Structure 1
């Protein structure tokens, strides 16, 4: 069956205009919405009231203070450090605690630069206009990342409290730094490709490139402690008692946070691909020689139950979602039906989850923490309490309520420990994982 292209005619416009003149609902909507914010005027008051910030199952303590990633794409590092600080707060009886996303940010940028250059080297025989090469050139050193990529940095470099390596201007507003580093890495990519085509050695050239990137990062962000440098961690506990501990970034993780990275699993809900299978993202990572970014793809009900299990065991949950879709920042609500779009003939539910991913209408864009749930009489989740990293001025003092319906439709990933899902651990031994290309939407959190 063939289709001949048709022009939009003036007759079409005249007909549609006549129909709109008789569309009383459309006329009324236009009269209102042309003078105000559509998303504010279409708020469903019943949903607004129902989306309560009351939860019957909650972790204790919740993390304080509420954090702020500011104008950077570091959500995955904030969600990760907000998760890890809870271990310290419980262990050392602390009221507040902040770990340093900026420390991880520095070493992630350094490792991503090396990872990018290695991908350029590995693909030098590909045409520069090929999709894979162009993908790497598009955003070689993005702020985004995945939970697995965080563990690679923590395993290699450790972690420090925020006071030891606090934010600099360029961690909070990373746009200019990223632009300059990206331009430099693209320049390096051209040099490496041309040398390789000529059969020349690139060993010393690449090492100098990495040195140059390290120097620029030090200029932009400030030089961080090295993994084995000793520092002093000073803090007050809940009883205002002063404590001082000497440690190193690596020992801080192993001896004080006690973060065992092999125990953590990323559960995925990607309805395009078969469930109960391992899904991997090809060429997605930051540390050369590190683990492949992998997920265990499961039905959404498995992800929800894993969240319930963790919260009941007083453990928060790192999760990845499509944000800020159907999120009201003022009210602190994540609810698909918070807006009455159907009143103007717009159906926000016309596509299913798989179709939204395939047709670029949804993807994983933001990482946050779940710290509480509200369960019905049968123990099923109704709504979730979400700790964001957009400051206490966002949402309700930095927190949001997310409906279970939203969870099912727009949550793609939750990170749990093996003990949370014992009957599914054997599935991780999948010898024929589903391998997705680096530009697949399931890797998009690392591209923000």
Structure 2
């Protein structure tokens, strides 16, 4: 049977829709309320909001929350929030913050090198400039987002410094213009490659230009610095001159080196217990590849609970932060907003459907710092989240997440490899399922 030709929205159909809207008085009430107050105020489930307690049976005190400002550095902030918990214990101080700007500097420098070398290889192999892959890479380059493994690549190679040694700049707080200019520089470099210029010269020019641009925007990062501090017992310490690598090794050490990233890919054709990798996704050439172990969401919860309750270390995770979020109050719950009732529209989709049809993917990284557990000692009820959006919202910047929201919108957690059962540990040594660069599991926080 031949498919009917696409029909325009004619006046007859539009009049029928208008009449249908006007005949239901609930539509006008909803319209008046939303026009005046906004959809979130009208759809907010007040009964659910009142029951989302900020009390937790297990908590990790990680001090004052950080603030990423107008940047997409959440993956660096959250991973450094995990690391600073370890560093604070080793330093004997309650308040400490790593420089996220220092980490961003070297991530962007490395990512310029990674991107232009990757593209040079593709050009040499005959990849068309208008292919889906090339257009995806060109569009996606020089954003702020990243993954746990990419963060570890930077810390293991370049170390870290206290924030006072390399503080924020105007461009680290608002990265858009810096990123746009880096992206334009790289786009021109790709055009040079397609014009047949020498690839190594193009690569060298890119890395040199990127270093110069990053220094202008962020300042030149230190090769070494003098470190001295007073601990919370009033004891003065002078460690002398240290490199960033020495500082990281001294105060964080190898605790995070053996972490692996677990992911919940809900698509049935991607089996649990298998590694997943994404083509062309990375930041450091010859660094650890960006790959995940696909596991059930309940196993991710068990690991997070165990780390918080036994090791008392925050847990890095990635989620789709936008659905059902009350940003001001700092709350996530699957039934926090009743949009379907206001609109009389069915929004119901399971996690797999949302991923398959581009309705959800990871876009923000944070750290779990608490959990409320039922009396059985196993059933998780809600989670305390250290965000990086400043302390003027939520509970001084700390959010509360309903347990069901974890199931639906959390995609990744980073955990020690030693927590994996034998079959999962073995899977880490097996070839990964390699997904294309544009796959939603390759989304960056």
Specify the TM-score bucket, using the shorter chain as the normaliser. over 0.9
Q: Which moved more, 1:35-44 or 1:264-273?
A: 35-44
Counterpart secondary structure, 1:445: coil
Q: Distance in 1 between matches of 2:58 and 2:144?
A: 33
Query: Does residue 1:293 correspond to 2:287, yes or no?
Result: no
Partner of 1:275: 272
* Aligned counterpart in structure 2 of residue 254 of structure 1, from 245, 249, 263: 249
- Structure 1's 165 and 346: CA in aligned 2 closer, same or farther, altered over 3 A? farther
Partner of 1:376: 374
Query: Do 1:277 and 1:427's aligned partners in 2 also have CA atoms closer than 8 Å?
Result: no
Query: Do 2:368 and 2:386's aligned partners in 1 also have CA atoms closer than 8 Å?
Result: yes
Give 1:114 shift.
0.5
Q: Distance in 2 between matches of 1:91 and 1:178?
A: 36
Q: Distance in 2 between matches of 1:429 and 1:168?
A: 40
TM-score, normalising length: structure 2:
0.94
- Structure 1's 340 and 205: CA in aligned 2 closer, same or farther, altered over 3 A? closer
Query: Do 2:86 and 2:313's aligned partners in 1 also have CA atoms closer than 8 Å?
Result: no
Q: Distance in 2 between matches of 1:243 and 1:66?
A: 25
Counterpart secondary structure, 2:20: helix
Partner of 2:113: 114
Partner of 2:231: 237
Query: Do 1:321 and 1:413's aligned partners in 2 also have CA atoms closer than 8 Å?
Result: yes
Counterpart secondary structure, 2:36: coil
Query: Do 1:280 and 1:294's aligned partners in 2 also have CA atoms closer than 8 Å?
Result: yes
Query: Does residue 1:216 correspond to 2:213, yes or no?
Result: yes
Query: Does residue 1:73 correspond to 2:81, yes or no?
Result: no
Query: Do 2:43 and 2:342's aligned partners in 1 also have CA atoms closer than 8 Å?
Result: no
- Structure 1's 217 and 420: CA in aligned 2 closer, same or farther, altered over 3 A? same
Unaligned stretches of 5+ in structure 2?
none
Counterpart secondary structure, 1:233: strand
Partner of 1:322: 320
TM-score, normalising length: structure 1:
0.94
Query: Does residue 1:264 correspond to 2:264, yes or no?
Result: no
Query: Does residue 1:91 correspond to 2:90, yes or no?
Result: yes
Partner of 1:307: 304
Partner of 1:390: 389
Instruction: Please show how residues 122-133 of structure 1 align to structure 2 within 5 Å.
Output: 122-124=121-123, 125-133=126-134
Give 1:19 shift.
2.1
Unaligned stretches of 5+ in structure 1?
none
Counterpart secondary structure, 1:271: coil
Q: Distance in 2 between matches of 1:348 and 1:15?
A: 21
Q: Distance in 1 between matches of 2:247 and 2:423?
A: 31
Q: Distance in 2 between matches of 1:111 and 1:341?
A: 43
Counterpart secondary structure, 1:195: coil
1:279-331 CA distance string (max 9 Å, x none): 11111000111121110001111111111111111121000000122111111
Give 1:3 shift.
2.5
Query: Do 1:310 and 1:420's aligned partners in 2 also have CA atoms closer than 8 Å?
Result: no
Q: Distance in 2 between matches of 1:72 and 1:271?
A: 29
- Structure 1's 95 and 355: CA in aligned 2 closer, same or farther, altered over 3 A? same
Counterpart secondary structure, 2:444: helix
Query: Do 2:91 and 2:251's aligned partners in 1 also have CA atoms closer than 8 Å?
Result: no
Instruction: Please show how residues 44-63 of structure 1 align to structure 2 within 5 Å.
Output: 44-59=45-60, 62-63=61-62
The size of the alignment, in residue pairs, is 437
Partner of 2:333: 335
1:124-155 CA distance string (max 9 Å, x none): 11110001111111132111110100111111
Instruction: Please show how residues 97-108 of structure 1 align to structure 2 within 5 Å.
Output: 97-108=96-107
Give 1:437 shift.
1.2
Alpha carbon RMSD of aligned pairs, Å? 1.6
1:332-371 CA distance string (max 9 Å, x none): 1011211122322546751111111111100100000000
Q: Which moved more, 1:74-83 or 1:84-93?
A: 84-93
Query: Do 1:100 and 1:165's aligned partners in 2 also have CA atoms closer than 8 Å?
Result: yes
Q: Which moved more, 1:179-188 or 1:209-218?
A: 209-218
